[in-house]
């Protein structure tokens, strides 16, 4: 999972803001790295931008310790951070500002992450932009256009149509809820029980975390490796049909991993955003739209 695009290209990526005559959203151009990872330019305390992994699956924004040291930002305490496949304890501090394009969140708590941890993802970034930042906006991830749209209001939501899929913003681990999680309930055949998937732009596979070894769900593929900040795990890949609202995704790769079981995580599985052409998340109203369509402006009547 090496980064195919030169790091210099990412470091000097331009944040593009595309004004529209009708809506006042901010559209940020993303860079696609190897294995489909999306890279977003982020500024910390007015410096940057730096290449960050766009990761709806992390409930915290993470910054490499080396960058924090360069910026003179000290970290003294440790805090738990919920990421794909578990929890990691990282250095805690507060940034004066975290900025994407012209949108800033002041006084955002951030976590310092070691180079050895972030290098496990095999992508050259200076940090991870997590849900604690993204939750302040309605967002649209467009995988074809490679853009991220952020909206402080309701104009973006009003411009889109499609099935409203209810979201939860918390998970459950060891009897305790976790915050800043994007959780969508789906049914995996043949079970009729609801599986709680974390919507995760920082992973490449739909993944389930079973309480016990799972039976095969159809045609099986060779194993793969789930790479996370807390280590790697060998996984079995099955090809299944996923249904998200009215959208059907036949031949989707579903991973079940050796060392990651449901008791270690706060969700039943992860759902990668890269399976969608576009994905809209309304943090304000608590729903998602898979592959939304834009409404045509109404014509005035005379």
Q: Give a yes or no: residue 176 inside a domain.
A: yes
* pLDDT for position 83: 61
Mean pLDDT is highest, among 39-48, 109-118, 165-174, 199-208, for: 39-48
The answer on pLDDT for 214 being more than 70 is: no
Residues 6+ apart with CB under 8 A from 12: none
* pLDDT for position 212: 65
User: Which tens digit of pLDDT belongs to each residue from 223-252?
Assistant: 666 655 555 667 778 888 889 989 999 888
- CA 68, 72, 76, 79 torsion-angle sign: negative
Mean pLDDT is highest, among 17-31, 165-179, 209-223, for: 165-179
Q: Give a yes or no: residue 235 inside a domain.
A: yes
126 and 96 within one domain: yes
243 and 193 within one domain: yes
Q: Give a yes or no: residue 139 inside a domain.
A: yes
84 and 142 within one domain: yes
* pLDDT for position 220: 46
* pLDDT for position 302: 44
Residues 244 and 165 sit within 8 Å (Cβ to Cβ): yes
The answer on pLDDT for 51 being more than 90 is: yes
167-187 average pLDDT score: 90
Q: Give a yes or no: residue 114 inside a domain.
A: yes
34 and 135 within one domain: yes
Residues 232 and 226 sit within 8 Å (Cβ to Cβ): yes
User: Which tens digit of pLDDT belongs to each residue from 127-153?
Assistant: 999 999 999 999 999 999 999 999 999
Largest CA distance in the chain: 66
Euclidean distance between CA atoms 26 and 23, whole angstroms: 9
Give 234-282 as a 3 state SS string. EEEEEEEEEEECCEEEEEEEEEEECCCCHHHCCCCEEEEHHHCCEEEEE
Confidence of residue 208 (pLDDT cuts 50, 70, 90): confident
176 and 242 within one domain: yes
Q: Give a yes or no: residue 281 inside a domain.
A: no
253 and 231 within one domain: yes
Residues 78 and 92 sit within 8 Å (Cβ to Cβ): yes
Higher pLDDT, 254 or 159: 159
Two tokens, residue 233: 């795990």
Mean pLDDT is lowest, of 76-85, 141-150, 172-181, 262-271, for: 76-85
Q: Give a yes or no: residue 291 inside a domain.
A: no
The answer on pLDDT for 120 being more than 80 is: no
Domain range spanning residue 86? 7-158
Cα-trace Rg, the chain: 19
112 and 187 within one domain: no
Pairing of strands 103-113, 47-54: unpaired
Supply the DSSP symbol for 119.
Answer: G
Q: Give a yes or no: residue 288 inside a domain.
A: no
Higher pLDDT, 242 or 258: 242
129: domain CATH number?
2.40.70.10
The answer on pLDDT for 104 being more than 60 is: yes
209 and 73 within one domain: no
Q: Give a yes or no: residue 295 inside a domain.
A: no
DSSP string, 123-192: ---SEEE-HHHHTTSEEEEETTTTEEEEESSSHHHHTEES--EEEEEEEEETTEEEEEEEEEEEE-TT--
| Number of domain units in the chain | 2
Residues 70 and 50 sit within 8 Å (Cβ to Cβ): no
Count of beta carbons in the 10 Å neighbourhood of residue 19: 10
Peptide bond into 104 cis (omega under 30): no
The answer on pLDDT for 264 being more than 70 is: yes
């Amino acid at each position: 999972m090496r980064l195919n695009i030169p790091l210099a290209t990412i470091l000097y990526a331009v944040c593009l803001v595309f004004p529209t005559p009708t809506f006042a959203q901010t559209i940020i151009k993303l860079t696609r790295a190897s294995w489909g990872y999306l890279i977003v330019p982020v500024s910390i305390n007015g410096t940057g931008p730096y290449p960050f992994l766009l990761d709806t699956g992390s409930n915290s924004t993470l910054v490499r310790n080396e960058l924090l040291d360069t910026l003179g930002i000290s970290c003294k305490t440790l805090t738990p951070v919920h990421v794909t496949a578990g929890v990691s304890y990282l250095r805690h501090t507060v940034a004066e500002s975290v900025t994407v394009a012209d949108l800033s969140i002041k006084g955002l708590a951030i976590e310092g992450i070691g180079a050895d941890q972030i290098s496990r993802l095999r992508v050259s970034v200076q940090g991870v932009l997590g849900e604690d930042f993204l939750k302040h906006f309605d967002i649209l991830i467009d995988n074809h256009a490679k853009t991220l749209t952020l909206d402080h209001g309701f104009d973006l939501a009003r411009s889109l149509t499609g099935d409203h899929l209810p979201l939860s913003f918390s998970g459950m681990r060891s009897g305790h809820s976790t915050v800043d999680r994007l959780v969508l309930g789906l049914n995996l055949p043949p079970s009729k029980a609801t599986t709680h998937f974390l919507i995760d732009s920082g992973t490449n596979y739909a993944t389930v975390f079973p309480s016990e070894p799972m039976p095969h769900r159809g045609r099986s593929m060779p194993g793969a490796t789930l790479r996370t900040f807390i280590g790697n795990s060998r996984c079995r890949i099955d090809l299944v049909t996923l249904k998200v609202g009215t959208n059907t995704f036949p031949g989707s790769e579903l991973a079940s991993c050796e060392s990651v079981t449901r008791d270690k995580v706060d969700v039943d599985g992860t759902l990668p955003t890269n399976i969608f052409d576009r994905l809209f998340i309304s943090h304000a109203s608590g729903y998602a739209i898979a592959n939304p369509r834009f409404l045509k402006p109404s014509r005035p009547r005379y």
